[in-house]
Amino acid sequence: VRTPSDRSNLSFQSTSTVAPGGAAVAPVRGLHHEGWLSKRTSGKVARWQRRYFTLDGCKLCYSSKPGAPAKRSFDIRRARGISIAESQPRELELDFGFRAWRLSA
């Protein structure tokens, strides 16, 4: 578990059973991780922005800094796909159909 005072990047670890297609099936109750990740913007000129992410159970949200209101939040069980590029093992993409989040530790 990362604390708000921990400024290092959050690492990705699998803590749930994953079904074909990448959908999380059995999330661990009481799961809580938080820390800094970079999120790729979706504008015409994509760039990386540092965001503070919190994962509580299946709810993933981010804000500009620890303690700030969440800018966005999603239930990761609703992701259509979760992928990690072999060439960039520290990058993760969550595809929600209407929006995809590309994250980097």
Domain ranges in the chain are 32-104
CATH code of the domain made up of 32-104:
2.30.29.30
Sequence letter at residue 5: S
Question: How far apart are the C-alpha atoms of 8 and 2, rounded to whole Å?
Answer: 9
State if pTM tops 0.75. Answer: no
Q: Please name the residue that has the structure tokens 């790729």.
A: 40
Q: What is the CA radius of gyration of the chain?
A: 13
The rounded distance, in Å, linking the Cα atoms of 72 and 42 is 14
Cβ–Cβ < 8 Å for 72, 60: no
User: For all residues of the chain together, what is the average pLDDT?
Assistant: 79
pLDDT digits (tens, 9 = 90+) for 53-103: 999 999 999 999 999 999 999 899 999 999 997 888 899 999 988 888 899
Cβ contact 8:16 at 8 Å: no
H helices of 18-97, in order, are none
| pLDDT for residue 73 | 92
